[in-house]
């Protein structure tokens, strides 16, 4: 499980939710979504993502990824994320983000503090820290889901997204790979495949979202050199 935690953190942080109506100015309404995590075809854990409203235009999000069954007995490992921010003039603006990865010697802690008036973000990852320039549209790994969800609903998904991860600003390219129907615990769903990648890298992440269900995230798969490493599949959604 230890070797899987970093890829799971990346996939889990890119979940962009499933809800019917927006609330309090947010692009999506409060929800809790549960996903099962697979590695090499075997179930190794679950991911739970929650969104709550905080005031007229504020939001709080959390993500909890943990191992299950035999995996939990063989190797402890857990990833907890939380973020808070606001919708300002229609744009997602994160204010704080924190990620705790508990995996023995590979444990790590990450914190981000967004200062929009000053145009900078204070980033810390373990002993490393940096002050990075802040630009409109830049988000943390967990707030990315709100940004993407809103863009999908408007039909205005840009070719790339920028986010702060650890002490770096990262850019991810996006491309539409067409439609596919998937069998899920929620029934047969028409989905759109969206591929996320970094030019020059061999690792890619693919998302299946359901347009008829407000772009509910149905499945995520991460592969490297053409071989699947991890997969997450929807199990339940509560509003």
H or E element at residue 149: helix 144-154
Residues contacting residue 184 through CB under 8 Å, at least 6 positions apart: 218, 219, 233, 234
pLDDT in tens, 73-122: 455 568 899 999 999 988 899 999 999 988 767 789 999 999 999 999 99
| Range from 5-9, 56-60, 76-80 carrying the lowest mean pLDDT | 5-9
Residues contacting residue 174 through CB under 8 Å, at least 6 positions apart: 157, 158, 159, 160, 161, 194, 195, 196
pLDDT in tens, 162-214: 999 999 999 989 888 889 999 999 899 999 898 888 888 888 889 998 888 77
For the chain, where are the E strands, in sequence order? 31-39, 42-54, 58-67, 78-88, 91-102, 108-115, 120-125, 128-133, 160-165, 168-184, 187-197, 203-210, 216-224, 227-238
Provide the pLDDT for residue 84.
97
Task: Determine the structural domain holding residue 180 and report its residue range.
Answer: 2-238
Q: What CATH code is carried by the domain that includes residue 179?
A: 2.40.360
What does pTM read for this prediction? 0.84
Q: Is 26 helix (H, G, I), strand (E, B) or coil?
A: coil
Joined together, the tokens standing for residue 82 give 């939380």
Q: Is 221 helix (H, G, I), strand (E, B) or coil?
A: strand
Q: Is 212 exposed, middle or buried (0-12, 13-18, 19+ CB in 10 A)?
A: exposed
Q: How many domains are contained in the chain? A: 1
């Amino acid at each position: 499980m230890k070797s899987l935690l970093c890829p799971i953190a990346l996939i889990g942080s890119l979940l962009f939710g499933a809800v019917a109506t927006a609330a309090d100015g947010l692009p999506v309404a409060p929800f809790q979504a549960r996903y099962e995590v697979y590695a090499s075809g075997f179930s190794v854990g679950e991911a739970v993502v929650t969104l709550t409203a905080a005031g007229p235009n504020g939001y709080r999000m959390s993500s909890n990824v943990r191992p299950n069954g035999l995996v939990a007995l063989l190797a402890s490992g857990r990833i907890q994320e939380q973020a808070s921010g606001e919708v300002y003039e229609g744009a997602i603006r994160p204010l704080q983000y924190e990620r705790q990865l508990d995996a023995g010697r590979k444990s790590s802690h990450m914190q981000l503090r967004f200062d929009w008036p000053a145009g900078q973000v204070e980033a810390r990852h373990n002993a490393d820290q940096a002050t990075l320039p802040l630009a409109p549209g830049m988000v943390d790994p967990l707030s990315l889901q709100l940004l993407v969800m809103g863009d999908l609903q408007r039909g205005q998904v840009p070719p790339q997204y920028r986010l702060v991860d650890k002490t770096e600003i990262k850019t991810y390219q996006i491309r539409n790979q067409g439609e596919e129907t998937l069998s899920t615990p929620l029934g047969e769903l028409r989905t759109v495949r969206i591929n996320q990648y970094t030019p020059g890298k061999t690792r890619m992440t693919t998302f299946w979202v359901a347009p008829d269900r407000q772009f509910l995230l149905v499945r995520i798969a991460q592969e490297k050199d053409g071989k699947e490493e991890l997969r997450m599949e929807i199990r339940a959604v509560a509003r």
